[in-house]
Amino acid sequence: MLKNTLFFCNLSHEEYFKLFNLFIQIGNQYLKLIYSPLALETRNWTALNQEDRFILLVNQAEQEKAKGNNRQAIKILRTALNTYPKLNKGIELLTKDLQALTETRTKEFEHYSRLLKEKIENLINNDELAMATSLLEEATKVIGEDSDIVSMKAVIVLKQGEFIKAEKLLQKALIKDPQNFDLLYNLACSFEGQQKVGKAIHYYQKASQVCPNQNLKTAIEEHISGLQNGFPGKKDTSSVK
């Protein structure tokens, strides 16, 4: 009855979605009655017909959604669609709902990441390096070691005079992100700290080429000129660039 309503009645999106979810719930309960728990849990579904496999796949997608694995849920829904295309509208509505939820969570995560990075930058600029290091460790677990995180780690070790350690961190990060201004600039600082003037000039020049700020670009070029003439100007390496 429900299936025929979904197939043949002209329903609004809201009506269809409610009936579709009810169809899945009832179907899932029915399958639990006629199949052994072992068959369902091990997902040995080859003996099931298309409709039954469809219901189980949609249920599996809902379980992934409950865990926060929205991308995996969408992938499973696509498999369900290929299994039983007749209920494509229900899959389309579920997928749109998941995509909207994923987009919202992504924006929330990006906002959180930005605030956390700003907090760490302020700590570094205020020379609260122990607290900054602690927060960086937590940020790495949550955000991952992206270019911003590596650059801030490098600035801390530069401030501590560990120029070779900073160089290694930055060289590794530049393999993945070779045009990143912060990485290039701080690598130049690490070479200057080691008194490797030629390499410092090289990376200051590369940083200057991708510098997003004209005033900073001018300051870097003036510093390069000073290094080339053997008279390096006073350069501040105490803040996150």
- Virtual torsion, Cα 5, 9, 15, 21, nearest 10 deg: 30
Give the whole-angstrom CA distance, residue 53 versus residue 232: 71
Mean pLDDT value of segment 60-89: 91
Domain definitions of the chain by residue range: 2-104, 145-241
Which of the 8 DSSP states describes residue 212?
S
Residue type, 77: L
User: pTM for this one?
Assistant: 0.65
Query: How does residue 113 score in pLDDT terms, banded at 50, 70 and 90?
Result: very high
Angle of helix 70-83 versus helix 88-125 axis, rounded to 10: 160
Give the whole-angstrom CA distance, residue 59 versus residue 62: 5
Range from 66-70, 167-171, 235-239 that averages highest in pLDDT:
167-171
The more confidently predicted of residues 221 and 11 is 221
Write the pLDDT tens digit of every residue in 128-178.
999 999 999 999 998 889 999 999 999 999 999 999 999 999 999 999 999
Mean per-residue pLDDT over the chain, rounded:
89
Query: How does residue 240 score in pLDDT terms, banded at 50, 70 and 90?
Result: very low
Token pair listed for 173: 């990060």
Give the whole-angstrom CA distance, residue 187 versus residue 58: 50
Distances (CA, A) of 134 to 33, 148, 163: 53, 16, 20
pLDDT at 239: 39
Query: How does residue 234 score in pLDDT terms, banded at 50, 70 and 90?
Result: very low
Q: Taking the domain 145-241, which CATH number applies?
A: 1.25.40.10
pLDDT at 44: 67
